[in-house]
Structure 1
Amino acid sequence: MGKAKPAKHTSAELAAKAKAATQNAGGGKAGLADRKGGAVGHAKYKCHICGQAAPDLKTMQIHHDAKHPKLPWEPEKCENLHALTGGVTTQGVAVRGSIKKK
């Protein structure tokens, strides 16, 4: 047996590694824009009446029924923000800044 210590990983350490691999946490302006979802954010649809953003049409319909009950629901009038920007909202996951060591 060698002198090297066998690697033992705790469940918290493994969870932290998995989170770091799938989370946008890059520093600076590029990382900030990416964490916010790029040019349009992570929301896909925008209400044509008040401008409220929603991730899908079902959520937009819930918003419409709650906030604009007197107006008819017309999903074709909701703006698809992802289509306006070419379908790309973020640069990708696993964008992470440096880990400060003490």
Structure 2
Amino acid sequence: MGKAKPAKHTAAEIKAKVHAATTNMGGGKAGLQDRKGGAVGHAKYKCPICMTAAPDLKSMQLHWENKHPKLPFNESACENLHAKVGGVTTAGVAVQGSKKKKQSDA
């Protein structure tokens, strides 16, 4: 057999294509909104003490028990970021910051 490309796609190639199709790598305004994460995106609650973001109250409670064990947990003190920005969430499927592209001299 020669050095021809195989007829079937490899698992790594398919995984790379799925990753490229479902991850927002973006620059620009849409990418900026995604990269902000907690302010407008996936995380819903913000810890009033250390400003750590969490996606739900259960995760925030676990954070609180691990990081602030001497203080009682008060879920009303945790800021709901989605309500603050009008329920807007990120437009992208997944969030990943932009990567610098290598420029060729050609």
- The TM-score with structure 1 as length reference comes to 0.68
- Answer whether contact 2:24 2:93 (CA < 8 A) is retained: yes
Q: CA RMSD in A?
A: 3.1
Distance 1:37 1:67, change over 3 A: closer
Q: Distance in 2 between matches of 1:48 and 1:25?
A: 30
Distance in 2 separating the partners of 1:64 and 1:57: 10
Per-residue CA shift, 1:42-61, capped at 9, x if unaligned?
32101123322212211211
- Give the 4+ runs in structure 1 shifted more than 6 A: none
Most deviating of 74-83 and 85-94: 85-94
Q: Secondary structure at the match of 1:60?
A: helix
AA of the residue aligned to 2:74: E
Q: Do the aligned partners of 1:43 and 1:54 also contact (CA within 8 Å) in 2? A: yes
The match for 1:3 is: none
How far 1:19 moved relative to its partner? 0.9
Counting aligned pairs with the same residue, the percent is 71
**Structure 1 residues not aligned, in runs of 5+:** 1-5
| Structure 1 segment 51-70 matched on structure 2, within 5 A | 51-70=51-70
Q: Equivalent residue for 1:45?
A: 45
